[in-house]
Each structure stands twice: as C-alpha cells, then as structure tokens.
Amino acid sequence: MARAVALATGILFCVVLPSSGADSQITDGGRVIRILAAGPSEIRVKPGETFEVTCRAEGTGCEVGSFMLRSQRPVRTTPKGLKRRNDGYVFLADPAFAKEARNMCLADNGALDHDPAKSAGKFVISTAGWMPGVYGFDIVAHIRPAGGAYVCDRREVRVVVEGQQPSNPVSVTPRPQTLALNVDFNCRRDDEPELARFIRACAERGVTRLNFRALMMGYTEHPSKVRMSWGQAAPDFVDPAFDLFRLAVKYCRETGIECYVFYDLFDTRNDAFAKAHPEFRLVSRDGKSTCQGALSYAYPEVRAYFDRYIDELLDYGVDGFMFCTKSRHGMPLTRKYGFNDPVVAAFSKRHGVDVRTEKYDQDKWLDLQGEYILSWVAETTRRIHARGGQTSITLPSFKRNHYANLDWREVVRQKAVDELHTSCWRSEENQLFGPEGSKRLQEYVRVCHENGMKYSPYLFADMTLRRVYSRSGLAAACEETKLWTRHVRCADIDGIMWHDMDIYERHVFDFVNEAVIRAAGQAMKEPPAWMSGWEGTGANDRRTGGETLFNPALELGEGGMPRCWNVLLPGRAITGTEHGLAMPGGSRIESQPASIARDGKDKDTGYVLRLDMGCATPGQAVRVRLIRPLRPPVDYEIGRHLEHRRQIVVDEMLSQELTVPVGAPRPVTLAFHGGKAQGNRDGSVVQLQVTFPKAAPVTVRSISLKRR
C-alpha cells in the first residue's frame, strides 16, 4: 500500500570510478569471443597526427560480428572525427550504421576497416582539432549486430596527444559573478514555509539570483487578473490562493537574493486569450489551420495583451525578467506556421515575394519573424528599466529557434536586454569544451562586453547531474557541478545560470538538490580550471546480470565515508576492517536512487536482497527499507508537470528486520515481492535504507538487490 512519508537527509563524500579494464570479457555459456591481439595499448601523437588501432579476434560458438572503438566511459565533449551518444559515450562511427544513432559498431571489412582479413580490424583516426591530453578508449570485438545475449572481449587503448594544456587565467580583480538558479515548475515550493526555507537555503549556499517561472502551458504560477492561473485550472493540485511572486519577492529581499521572473516567450498552449482569439494564432501557409495557443507577435493586440501581464508582474516589485526561448508548449518547431497577414505583407513589401504562393528565401523569412519577437523584447526591456528592473534572455548558439530566427549577435547589437545566456538547448553546453569550445566561450564574452552587455552561460543540471548521481552517487554529482562551474569561469563571464537543480523529486531526495546547489556555490569561490571535456562523468552502470548493485564491495572513500552511499551518523566515524566497514551503532545508510528491473505490467515481481554482514554481539538486527516514489495519474491537458506536487506518494516495497550473523560477515538473503507494476505510475527508481542497531557496530561487506 502506498503512503506518504518524510525522509531525513544525508551526505556522501567520494566516488571512485572503476576501471573499464576489469571483467573485459562477456561470455554466454559456450559462446565466447577472444581478442588474440590488439593495440597498441599506448599511443603518443602530436596534435593533428593520425594513429592506428588494430584488433584480431576469434569466436567460439559464435562469430565476431563487428568491432567498436569507444571512450572507456561517458565524457563531456566530442573530439573532431568522432560521434557522441546521448549517454555520453564517444565513438568512431561507421556510415553503415548511421541510421542507428545508438549503434557504435564498426563493420568487419566495412568502410573504416583497413584490414581485409576476416575477424580483424584496423582503424585510422586523426587527432586534428583535439586538445592535448590523455584519451582512454576501449577496442571491442563483439557479436553485434547479431541479436541474442551479448558476447564480447575488449582491450584498453590509451592515446596521449602531446602538447601544452591551456593555462588557467589569472585575474587580479575578477568581476563579481552571479550564481543564478532557474526555479522551474517542478522545482517550486507550494506553501510559504517551504518557499521561505528554500530561498534561505539558496542564500546560505551562495545563490545570488533566483528566476521563478511565471508560466507553464499557458497558465500562470500565481493569482492573475490578466491570465488564467494554475489554481483556477487545477485547484485540486494547486492552491488558488498561493501567490508565488508576493512571497518570492518578500523572502528574496530578506536574504539579499535577486528575484527575477522566468518568463516564457513561447509558452501559450492553454492560454485563454489565444482560445478566444484564433485570428491571432500562428497560421499555416495555406491558411487552413492554426497552431493551438501559439500567438503571433506581429499583432498589436497580442503585444498589448503581453504588456498587461508584464505590468502585473512588475507590480510585485521583482528585480528583473529572464526571457526564455527554450520552452514552447504550443509553439511549433517547424516552418509550417507563422504565415499571418502582417508578416506576409511586410515580407512582400521588403522582398517583393508572396510567401503564400511563391518560392521564397526561408532564412530571410525566419529573420523577419524574429524581428517581431525581438522588437517586443526590446520595448519591454525599456519599460522594465523605467520601473528599475533588468532583463536577460536565453538563446541557442545557433540562429534557428522554433518558428523564427533569433540571432544572439543581433540581440547583443541592439542591446535588446541587459544580459545574454547561452546555450538554452540541452547538450549545447558540451560545445564549451576543447579548443573550439574555449574560443566560443571567449567570443560570447567579448561581443557582449564590447556592446555593454553581460554574459552568463546557461548550464543544465537535470539530465547531466541526475545521470551521474543515479549511477555513481552524490559525491560524483557534486564534483560534476564543481567541474562545470570552474570550467566556464575561466572566461571573464558575469555569472552562471543553472537550470533545474532539483534533479530528483524533492519530497524524497531534497538533500541531493541542496547538496549540488551547495557545490555550485563553493565552486564560485574556487580558482577557475579548464576541462578538456574528456574527463569521465562517472556514469558507470551498476546493473550486472539483472542485479542492481548498491556498491557491492563496500569501502571507504575520502572523508571517511562509504562510496556511493548517503550516510547518517550519530557522531562516530566509520572504520574500515579486513572484512568490510564497521558501521557505528545507530547509524543509517541510504543508497542513491537506482533503477530496478520489472517483470512487466500486472506482474508481481520477485526480488532477493542480500547483505553480507556480521557482528561480534549476538542478537543484533538491522532494519532494511526499500521505497520508490509513485507518480499520480494526470491528464496531459491538466498538466503532466503537476506530477511533482504533493500527490506524489512513496510506496514502501519492503520494511523488515534481519538478524545479523555473529562473527565475520556472511550473506543474509531476503526474498520478497515488490508489488505489481502500475503502468506509467510505476516507480522504477528505488532507494534502499539500512538502519543499524544502537547496541553494537555491524561490519558490512556488500549489499545487492536482484530480480528473482
């Protein structure tokens, strides 16, 4: 039965990543692939030179299907000539598999294989454009693209590109730098005490600006006389009386934090004005359809409607506005819409072409669409200045943005806002690594400062840090936060804006969110340091053979804390022994969230929990608890983004005491059923908690969970 629970917080310090060289061979019964020769194991080249990697293998009970040359672990950047998967692995891409984005296979005797022999590969890679440094690869011989159980063997290849790394800049009088956080819809707090505690906690952790989102899917985040609020649209989910900006301004002023409005330029999906005035929606080229909720900035009536809402927000006394061009609920991503009469007439007057019936220059057309948006932003900035506020805007590094062109250089040239943030599309921040990335970062700074504007890069926390945390623990996520922060500060930036620091459901894992915010604040005070982008992100999968491994070989990391665990201690230190870790009496450890396998919908999945533990004192017991958050059923039109609200409950899959064996650690197993999957509500992310007896320390060697 699901029930709401409150969880205590915990702290984790260090994660050490395992070497990819361990357990390099994966077999399946009698099917085996062996690498007979591969290498060289280390290659030293000068920048721009090429290197060769060879591999010769044989199969028993199966054939060598192809090879792979990939990074040993997920990394942040993509050296020239390689490709990057969404999970962060960088690889040499074979055109034969170009249509399969996640396929890293190199075909035997394919276009990139320079060895004509069967089951032998020779691959040539250029280091042109690579930054000096060490690049760790695996050369893999495996059964793919054949289906069935995976069979492979691999060897490590270390590539050293010689040369001097970029030096860290030294500034005698560095400019003041803002640490801004976007408080998105899923991050906001729903009552005054929660909101006050969050703002105060941000101030204590070094945050100097909070951007509170005003709109989501066309509804406001506060009571409004101009637009419909979430409280009106979904009163069962959101308290209609909760006034976000009144309270945000109050507590930001109390703590000295700037309070900005996170304002979406393109988020009008369920907007009441758009529903009442279909004539102002973006229209298709043939004039037969309009885009739901998407309004054209070419109409004075639309601009006046937006102006009234800006005035309402200014009346709260906010310090500024951050105009977001990323979110787009209701806004088209294609060129199908936007052929409204004022824009068509303006284009015809300027270029002598009727875009509805004649061939036209698409780039010029999109430039014109962008002019209407940018002119409103510039006019609104002047009105905000008159009320004592400041503005900023988020833009992609490229020109294209939804149905219009918004060129960051043109925004800066016009000084349409006070501050520029790039890049607002996920994964674009990876373009800030390597020689080209450092040049790009410096170019943003130079152009903005020459035109009297500020520049602060836009970094995404949610996807990057969640992946690192869920696979390698809180310390790795905090270190990732610091690395990013220190890297971009190597340029003469005016600040950093982080998006979605609430990387997990805060009702369960708020200590995680607070820890990464603290890490960002600490890194703002530390010396800047360039990253090559090839540093491992720590995203190493902990699932092996269907078993979710909660750090099976428990050992201490830096600071005297177990790796990959959040720890609650009664003030006594954990000590390492030859048999494992001696956990003090009364202590508790919590795993980071981990994905678990399920048998499928309507099936009650069986699991086995195993703890290798022991105690010198007889009669001791530990309490184990396995929990998972469940998502509430919601209508998308009401808003899937309401899932994070108080309706999230926590399913207690297991809560039981286990007797600790006397003496050295021995396995204790517990078989249980995890309950039936509940469709898209099913919580696939779980957290394990282990509470130790107060009377005596318990030595723990390993903990794991496996589906039966």
626: pLDDT confidence band, cut at 50, 70 and 90? Answer: confident
Q: Are 372 and 338 in contact (CB under 8 A)?
A: no
pLDDT of residue 539: 41
pLDDT of residue 396: 84
Mark whether 548 and 512 lie in a shared domain. no
Mark whether 221 and 312 lie in a shared domain. yes
Mark whether 490 and 627 lie in a shared domain. no
Mark whether 44 and 103 lie in a shared domain. yes
122 CB-side CA count, 13 A: 7
Cα–Cα distance, 430 to 459 (Å, whole number): 9
Q: Find the mean pLDDT for residues 136-162.
A: 93
CA neighbor of 198 nearest in space, from 426, 517, 449: 517
171-191 pLDDT, tens digit per residue, is: 545 678 999 999 988 777 778
User: What's at 59, amino acid-wise?
Assistant: G
Question: Most distant CA pair in the chain: distance in Å?
Answer: 92
Strands 120-126 and 50-60 turn out to be antiparallel
162-174 pLDDT, tens digit per residue, is: 987 665 554 545 6
1: pLDDT confidence band, cut at 50, 70 and 90? Answer: very low
Max avg pLDDT among 404-408, 454-458, 499-503: 454-458
Does residue 400 surpass a pLDDT of 90?
Answer: no
Q: Find the mean pLDDT for residues 491-514.
A: 80
Q: Are 501 and 181 in contact (CB under 8 A)?
A: yes
Give the domain CATH number at 677. 2.60.120.260
Does residue 9 surpass a pLDDT of 70?
Answer: no
Mark whether 553 and 600 lie in a shared domain. yes
Mark whether 562 and 698 lie in a shared domain. yes
Max avg pLDDT among 120-129, 562-571, 599-608: 120-129
Mark whether 608 and 471 lie in a shared domain. no
Mark whether 509 and 398 lie in a shared domain. yes
Helix (H, G, I), strand (E, B) or coil at 353: coil
Which range (136-145, 318-327, 544-553, 699-708) has the least confidence?
544-553
Pairwise pLDDT comparison (205 vs 506), residue with the higher score: 205
Cα–Cα distance, 213 to 216 (Å, whole number): 8
Q: Report how many domains make up the chain.
A: 3
330: pLDDT confidence band, cut at 50, 70 and 90? Answer: low
pLDDT of residue 170: 47
For residue 520 the two structure tokens come to 């960002």
Mark whether 318 and 237 lie in a shared domain. yes
Asked if residue 26 is part of any domain, the answer here is no
CA distances from 678 to 313, 380, 683 (A): 41, 47, 8
- Residue finishing a domain among 523, 556, 587: 523
Mark whether 642 and 681 lie in a shared domain. yes
pLDDT of residue 708: 75
DSSP characters over 437-458: HHHHHHHHHHHHHHTT-EE--E
Mark whether 122 and 231 lie in a shared domain. no
538: pLDDT confidence band, cut at 50, 70 and 90? Answer: very low
Asked if residue 122 is part of any domain, the answer here is yes
Which range (100-114, 127-141, 495-509) has the least confidence?
495-509
pLDDT of residue 136: 92
73-126 pLDDT, tens digit per residue, is: 888 778 889 998 877 789 999 998 887 755 899 999 999 999 999 999 999 999
Q: Find the mean pLDDT for residues 451-475.
A: 82
Segments of 231-387 assigned E as strands: 258-264, 281-283, 290-295, 320-324
CA neighbor of 504 nearest in space, from 542, 469, 453, 537: 469
Does residue 509 surpass a pLDDT of 90?
Answer: no
Give the domain CATH number at 221. 3.20.20.80
Asked if residue 244 is part of any domain, the answer here is yes
Give the domain CATH number at 106. 2.60.40.10
> What pTM was computed for the model?
0.77
Asked if residue 535 is part of any domain, the answer here is no
Does residue 262 surpass a pLDDT of 90?
Answer: yes
Kindly report the number of other CB atoms within 10 A of residue 118's CB atom. Answer: 11
Which range (45-49, 128-132, 576-580, 693-697) has the least confidence?
576-580
217: pLDDT confidence band, cut at 50, 70 and 90? Answer: confident
Asked if residue 657 is part of any domain, the answer here is yes
Which range (20-34, 75-89, 250-264, 614-628) has the least confidence?
20-34
Pairwise pLDDT comparison (269 vs 124), residue with the higher score: 124
The residues that bridge with 676 in the sheet, in sequence order, are 604
- DSSP collapsed to 3 states, 558-575: HHHCECCEEEECCCCCCE
Q: Find the mean pLDDT for residues 569-581.
A: 76
pLDDT of residue 673: 83
Buried b (16+ CB within 10 A) or exposed e, 393-414: bbbbeebbbbbbbbbbebbbee
283-304 pLDDT, tens digit per residue, is: 999 999 988 778 999 999 999 9
Which range (249-263, 287-301, 320-334, 363-377) has the least confidence?
320-334
- State what percent of residues in the chain have pLDDT above 70: 80
514 CB-side CA count, 13 A: 19
Q: Find the mean pLDDT for residues 498-504.
A: 81
CA distances from 209 to 177, 183, 432, 449, 480 (A): 11, 10, 23, 21, 21
Asked if residue 297 is part of any domain, the answer here is no
- Residue finishing a domain among 105, 131, 161: 161
Asked if residue 284 is part of any domain, the answer here is no
Asked if residue 22 is part of any domain, the answer here is no
- Residue finishing a domain among 134, 161, 188: 161
For residue 133 the two structure tokens come to 């440094």
User: Can you give the residue range of the structural domain that contains 597?
Assistant: 2-6+541-707
14: pLDDT confidence band, cut at 50, 70 and 90? Answer: very low
Mark whether 570 and 636 lie in a shared domain. yes
Q: Are 547 and 211 in contact (CB under 8 A)?
A: no
The conformation of residue 681, written as its DSSP 8-state character, comes to G
